[in-house]
Amino acid sequence: MADKPRVVLGVSGGIAAYKACELLRRFTESGHDVRVVPTASALHFVGAATWSALSGNPVSTEVWSDVHEVPHVRIGQHADLVVVAPATADMLAKAAHGLADDLLTNTLLTARCPVVFAPAMHTEMWEHPATRENVATLRRRGAVVIEPAVGRLTGVDTGKGRLPEPGEIFEVCRRVLARGTAEPDLRGRHVVVSAGGTREPLDPVRFLGNRSSGKQGYALARTAAARGARVTLLAANAGLPDPAGVDVVHVGTAVQLREAVLKAAADADAVVMAAAVADFRPAVYATGKIKKKDGHEPDPVALVRNPDILAEISADRARPGQVVVGFAAETDDVLANGRAKLARKGCDLLVVNEVGERKTFGSEQNEAVVLGADGSETPVPYGPKEALADTVWDLVLRRLG
Ligand code: CTP
What's residue 152's pLDDT?
82
Q: What is the mean pLDDT of residues 183-194?
A: 92
Ligand 1 atom nearest the C-alpha of 344 is 23
Residue 364 φ then ψ, to 5°: -85, -15
Cα–Cα distance measured from residue 253 to residue 260, given in angstroms and rounded to the nearest whole number:
11
What's residue 357's pLDDT?
61
Domains of the chain, each with CATH number or no CATH: 6-178 (3.40.50.1950), 190-400 (3.40.50.10300)
- 3 state SS of 72: helix
309 lines ligand 1 (CB under 6 A): yes
User: For 205-236, how does the pLDDT look when each residue is reduced to its tens digit (9 = 90+)?
Assistant: 999 999 999 999 999 998 998 888 999 999 99
In the beta sheet, which residues pair with residue 128? none
Is residue 274 within 8 Å of residue 193, measured between CB atoms? yes
Ligand 1 atom nearest the C-alpha of 306 is 8
Residues 6+ apart with CB under 8 A from 384: 219, 364, 365, 366
Cα–Cα distance measured from residue 119 to residue 85, given in angstroms and rounded to the nearest whole number:
7
Q: What is the mean pLDDT of residues 154-181?
A: 88
pTM of the model: 0.82
What's residue 189's pLDDT?
96
What's residue 125's pLDDT?
95
210 lines ligand 1 (CB under 6 A): no
Q: What is the mean pLDDT of residues 264-279?
A: 98
What's residue 139's pLDDT?
87
User: For 29-87, how does the pLDDT look when each residue is reduced to its tens digit (9 = 90+)?
Assistant: 999 999 999 999 999 999 999 999 999 999 999 887 777 777 778 899 999 999 999 99
User: Identity (one letter) of the amino acid at 2?
Assistant: A
In the beta sheet, which residues pair with residue 273? 194, 326
**What average pLDDT does the chain have?**
93
Q: Read out DSSP for 155-206?
A: TT-EEEEEPPPHHHHHHHHHHHHHHT----TTTT-EEEEEEEB--EEEETTE
User: For 322-376, how does the pLDDT look when each residue is reduced to its tens digit (9 = 90+)?
Assistant: 999 999 999 889 999 999 999 999 999 999 998 876 555 677 788 899 999 999 9
Q: What is the mean pLDDT of residues 299-327?
A: 97
342 lines ligand 1 (CB under 6 A): no
Nearest protein CA to atom 6 of ligand 1, as residue: 277
